[in-house]
Structure 1
Amino acid sequence: MCLGGHLAFRALLDKRITAVVGFFATDIHSKSLGAGVNDDSLERVSKEFDSYTQELVLFFGTLDSHVPPEGRDLIRKTLRDHGVKFTFMEIADAQHAYVRDEFSKGRYDSAITSSCLGFLFELFHRKLTIDLGDVERKTEKIEHVC
């Protein structure tokens, strides 16, 4: 969460890490983590990501003042452009740190927190506890149907 979300994101640089969930990860879009305020997290993760074994889930609130809409758009577009396997969720009307407890200045939302944790548990269960064998990649045309 927050800075920890950014650090979890960077954990994907280690190919042994197969699943990451980040809640309102700060500084990815602004490159302002660490010394020199010029990190390369987004570029490195996007270019070095292993779409066969790694998966990412990111959560943000639409009212997050730490990661504005333009920042979220940059993150999403960069990941998509590089073929990163990810789920990107923007929670309507949620502020930064909406999973904190009742002492978080009115930002806490227990229902949304529960839903987000469901995504976390699903990903971690699927990637970390179930051995379904190697991923089989097929190139197929997706049919456009309703």
Structure 2
Amino acid sequence: MLLQSQHADLVTPTGTMRTYVHRPAGEGRYPAVLFYSEIFQQTGPIERAARLLAGHGYAVLVPEIFHELNPVGTVLAYDNPGRDKGNADKAAKPVEDYDRDNRAMIDWLAGQPWYSGQLGAMGFCIGGHLAFRAALQPEVRGTACFYATDLHTQVIPNQPGQHSMDRAGEIGGELLMIWGKQDPHIPATGRAEVYARLAALGLDFTWHEFNGQHAFMRDEGERYDAQLQRLGYELVFDLFGRTLR
């Protein structure tokens, strides 16, 4: 399937949000996926992942998650300064601002002739958390969260009652939760806390823990695990095939 890529500069209450759009070329109407990056924004691995999804018949939107805090087009490097800047941005942006970002993308999608009206979400690392947050939107029917950070912590600023786990009961679609057992950012106690909350709420979710490190889906760096990446995408395409087609 041939692809086309472009960007849209969307207006949000906190400023312009550049959003990269990767979708099948030519005529047709396709389900869309809101795809959330790591703290580094649209790096090479994130763009390749988005295009892989698009190549399976999805329109994939990759927002600059810290658009308020960086010049348009910012990509942080996978190094210590990039990590420090990304973590600082994460600690500076209130979680409620992501809700407004989500609504801006959903409203923009509604006016696109190639959009089928079926919507999913997916993300890695903080993007896994932001995909979980996107699942609060009623249009989102299937969500894949890979090693979602800070669901079990209070690192991302939020007002009382606005933490993503406080609002998890509002999720109406299906969740796919994928974790690495050797991930120091989400230890076993943190994963157990998230699982217990989702189970207590009776949400529709599946849960997978692999023998992998944090960022095992990223096809760059020493933590990459190609076998686990393949399994992860198989689970994603199963989820989206059932919920968005």
Please indicate the TM-score interval, normalised by the length of the shorter structure. 0.7 to 0.9
Alignment of 1:45-60 (within 5 A): 45=168, 47-50=169-172, 54-60=173-179
Higher RCO (CA 8 Å, separation ≥ 6 residues) = 1
In 2: Cα distance, 1:2 partner to 1:49 partner: 20
Q: Which of 237, 240, 244 is the matching residue for 1:121?
A: 237
Superposition map of 1:58-137 within 5 A: 58-92=177-211, 94-101=212-219, 103-104=220-221, 106-129=222-245
**1:43 to 2:161 alignment:** no
Give the distance between the partners of 2:192 and 2:227, measured in 1 at CA.
Answer: 25
The residue identity in structure 2 corresponding to 1:48 is E
Amino acid at match of 1:87: T
Deviation at 1:39, TM superposition (A): 5.2
Q: Which runs of 5+ in 2 are unaligned?
A: 1-123
Give the secondary-structure state (helix, strand or coil) at the position aligned to 1:43.
coil
Q: Which of 12, 21, 27 does residue 135 from structure 2 map onto?
A: 12
CA distance in 2, matches of 1:30, 1:22: 16
Post-superposition CA distance 1:115-146 (Å, at most 9, x none):
110000011011101xxxxxxxxxxxxxxxxx
User: 2:67 aligns to what?
Assistant: none
Give the conservation status (yes or no) of the 8 Å contact 2:137–2:171: no
| Deviations 1:97-131, CA, capped at 9 Å, x for gaps | 00111x32x211101110110000011011101xx
Q: Residue 5 of structure 1 aligns to a residue in which SS?
A: helix
Structure (1/2) with the larger strand percentage: 2
Letter in 1 for 2:127: G
Aligned 8 A contact 1:33 1:39 in 2: no
| Identity score, percent | 36
Unaligned runs of 5+ in 1: 130-146
Structure 1 runs (4+) greater than 6 angstroms displaced: none
Residue in structure 1 matched with residue 87 of structure 2 by the alignment: none
- 3-state SS of the aligned residue for 1:58? strand
- SS of equivalent to 2:137: coil
Shift in Å at residue 40 of structure 1? 1.0
The CA distance in 1 between the partners of 2:208 and 2:180, in whole Å, is 8
**SS in structure 2 at match of 1:18:** strand
User: Matches of 2:155 and 2:142 in 1, distance apart?
Assistant: 24
Q: What secondary structure does 2:179 align onto?
A: strand
CA distance in 2, matches of 1:39, 1:27: 13
Code of the residue aligned with 1:90 in structure 2: it is: E
